[in-house]
A and B are shown apart, each in its own frame.
Chain A
């Protein structure tokens, strides 16, 4: 597993090395910082997605949750709420949306792909209905949290790194972290060990939602306006990053570090292509190829040895 993350990191290192030799311009401070800042909200969501997938679930409504939180946060900010109040509100709203998913999946035992497909469509259409595609204009004091651009970018990056480090620490060092792995590996075994799988599943979705809310704020501070469908497609980005980073789609294996490296790899490709003067048409094809490759190595990976058929002669 750790080997898998190193392999992805290796690919990333090779890409960066090629860039360093062929297009050192890629590493100029300001553009690189902009790139990373733009991807920082996705990183936050990838952390949440890692936990959801570790628990052997999936959440494809994160893009819609992100959009709803963005618009709501934007409207409040436009109504004069201070940014210090907008952030907790967005996080709480995201938590609530995630909790709805969690309640439907864990409480009613519905399959998460169906539940989150439904909430994805519902939230998106609801937002369309309310907002009619209108942008929300933000007051100046919201942008970059009211800071200059450079310190603002650093703040966004710092939040993302804090979430990454925090979730890595929590997964490794808290009992609750273990519970995600245990439930994702074998929910029944976990239950027999005194863990409550439904509660754990609920927590994964609720946490995912809260991180969507946080990511939404990290995104809206980067521009003067909120696009109502800013989150469209983010679910795919987050899931792709997590899968490329070696988190098993079948649950129980992986880490947030892997997700972060996977995201970085996927995020670097468009600008790498620009810098290497490769036609941009290739961007999606290459990203798709990397995702396929990641899945293929997942299958090729030596399986855990199956025990011999127990009690072969059982009557």
Chain B
């Protein structure tokens, strides 16, 4: 290549505690190309982007932008170098107008600089016209839809004269028409000589738009290919092509009794529709799918956080109405939510209070506290789950991430549930704690619980589940047997060939 690349990563490494997110990734972006970045959830795509935008400082390696080598970028050097990123979730100020948002991005800073309101408005109108926006520059951002906000982001990127535009799953919330418009903008940017890093899970988009493809897997680059040299099955193989690196506890035969049965359930509010499956007692039912495919939303429906407005939920054969978390708990459904830093363990409360938080009926049997019982329950779970803590009275915030997660799991076991829904139970947990949690989940199933396991970790879902339900677009796209191949799960997850015309 005679033309020097716009942006090059050389052997970038980055770890978060024990998690090695990037392990020597090299990547280059040429002027006038769309370079797709592919990989499973957790392969390192987002980390790589954040290195490019200066949000993360890499542990090793070099970044070459223009003619200069950097060990790390800062948000301002990245911006000065012409790097702009359009995130999945637009990062605009909702209370300001479109023109004000664009002004904040594009005009020079300085607290005492006088605002040229007319110039700002004219500029904004021009940029919005450039991306084909149909809303006013005076509209408040909070009144815009997600795709419209995305257009504002793109307009800002273009307005800043960015030569390197990174798009993180830009089509995930777009309709087909909006998608076409976006593709038009991307092609125009490319033809003007900019380089675009394009991240998407939709393989057919890659074929349509990309010039080259780089596949990441487990924090490493598997390779860079010309887009017309690899077809979707080959890409899937590249994304998942690995042996399961961990041993999972052996599956046990489930009993015949149905624990929970979902018949055509849906909730329009969260975009879940027509989901049917049954989980037997003693079975682990995995739920696979992309982020946003409706797995967490389904869990919220089953737990009564967004009550079902269609279909039926049956527990051990009996139809039940679950209108609130309290009702779910009463029926023996427990839910260990995703994002435990926000809603799992309550960091300020002692471990013992955390464990008994949902089981108040057990520790306040006659209305007042049975302190001995609380201590007994706390100590039981600390021992059973091997929670490493200074004691039941230590604040949950003093524990490590994995142990906090165990505390959150313990809270739901303490209510003696019959159905246990686990949402990303091992997310952000180190390998050792992960294996312990896996063993624990299997043990729980063996005691007769019906377990629904949501996970974005493909080996985990395949290794742990007796059957795997795959969700796509708020629906259950299919049910695969346990031990299905990673490619089979990935294919069902992406629904690559058959999703023409879908929103």
Partner-B contacts on A (CB < 8 A): 172-175, 178, 181-182, 185-186, 188-196, 248, 252-253, 303-315
Contact = CB atoms under 8 A, between A and B. Distances in A.
Contacts of A252: 346, 348-349
A193 B349 contact: no
B339 A310 contact: yes
A308 B402 CA distance: 10
Interface stretch (B108-116, B174-182, B363-371): B363-371
Contacts of B395: 304
Given A252-B349, A308-B428, A310-B427, A315 B45 contact: yes
A278 to B, nearest CB: 39
Nearest to A174: B368
Contacts of B398: 304-305
Interface residues of B, number: 61
Contact of A185 (B40, B45, B325, B349): B349
Contacts of A307: 340-341, 400-401, 404, 428
B364 A175 contact: yes
Contact of B21 (A172, A182, A313): A313
Contact of B291 (A172, A312, A315): A315
Nearest to A312: B16
Contacts of B44: 313
Contacts of A193: 325, 357-358, 411
B401 to A, nearest CB: 4
Given A252-B349, A308-B16, A192 B428 contact: no
Nearest to A302: B398
A308 B399 CA distance: 11
6 contacts: A174-B364, A186-B346, A252-B348, A303-B397, A313-B47, A315-B169
B307 interface: no
Contacts of A186: 342-343, 346-348
B79 interface: no
B397 A304 contact: yes
A157 B348 CA distance: 33
A194 B329 contact: yes
B46 interface: yes
Given A193-B411, A312-B428, A313-B16, 16 more contacts: A181-B348, A185-B349, A186-B346, A186-B347, A189-B345, A190-B346, A191-B325, A193-B358, A194-B325, A252-B349, A304-B397, A305-B399, A308-B401, A313-B22, A313-B46, A314-B456
Interface string B201-236: 100000000000000000100000000000000000
B473 interface: no
B369 A182 contact: no
Contacts of A305: 397-400
Contact of B353 (A174, A178, A192, A311): A178
Interface of B: 16-17, 19, 21-22, 39-47, 169, 199, 201, 219, 291, 303, 305, 325-326, 328-329, 335, 337, 339-349, 353, 357-358, 360, 363-364, 367-369, 371, 395-401, 404, 411, 424, 427-428, 456
Contact of A309 (B367, B411, B428, B456): B428
Contacts of A192: 303, 305, 325, 335, 337, 343
B160 to A, nearest CB: 25
A195 B325 CA distance: 8
A310 B429 CA distance: 7
B455 to A, nearest CB: 11
Contact of A313 (B219, B337, B340, B424): B219
Most chain A CB atoms below 10 A, which of B42, B337, B360, B411:
B360
Contacts of B349: 181-182, 185, 252
Contact of A174 (B339, B369, B427): B369
Nearest to B428: A310
A144 B84 CA distance: 74
A185 B348 contact: yes
B291 A314 contact: yes
B325 A314 contact: no
B43 A315 contact: yes
Contacts of A312: 16, 19, 21, 47, 428
Contacts of A174: 364, 367-369
Contacts of B43: 313, 315
Contact of B341 (A173, A182, A190, A310): A310
Contacts of A310: 339-341, 401, 427-428
Interface centre among B340, B349, B427 (most CB of A within 10 A): B349
Contacts of B17: 308
Contacts of A313: 16, 19, 21-22, 42-47, 219
Nearest to A315: B41
A185 B16 contact: no
B420 to A, nearest CB: 14
Given A181-B349, A192-B335, A304-B398, A175 B360 contact: yes
Contacts of A304: 347-348, 395-398
A190 B357 contact: yes
Nearest to A2: B393
Nearest to B48: A313
Contacts of B328: 194
A172 B337 contact: no
A46 B329 CA distance: 35
A309 B347 contact: no
A237 to B, nearest CB: 26
A194 B326 contact: yes
B232 to A, nearest CB: 18
Contacts of B346: 182, 185-186, 189-190, 252
A185 B22 CA distance: 35
B74 to A, nearest CB: 19
B291, B329, B401 pick with most chain A CB within 10 angstroms = B401
Can you list the 9 inter-chain pairs with the closest CB atoms, starting with the nearest?
A: A304-B397, A310-B428, A312-B16, A307-B401, A313-B21, A173-B369, A193-B358, A175-B364, A175-B360
Given A173-B368, A178-B353, A253-B348, A315 B40 contact: yes
Nearest to A253: B348
Contacts of B367: 174-175
A189 B338 CA distance: 11
Q: Which of A195, A252, A315 has the most CB of B within 10 A?
A: A315
Nearest to B398: A305
A185 B348 CA distance: 6
A195 B427 CA distance: 26
Contacts of B325: 191-194
Nearest to B358: A193
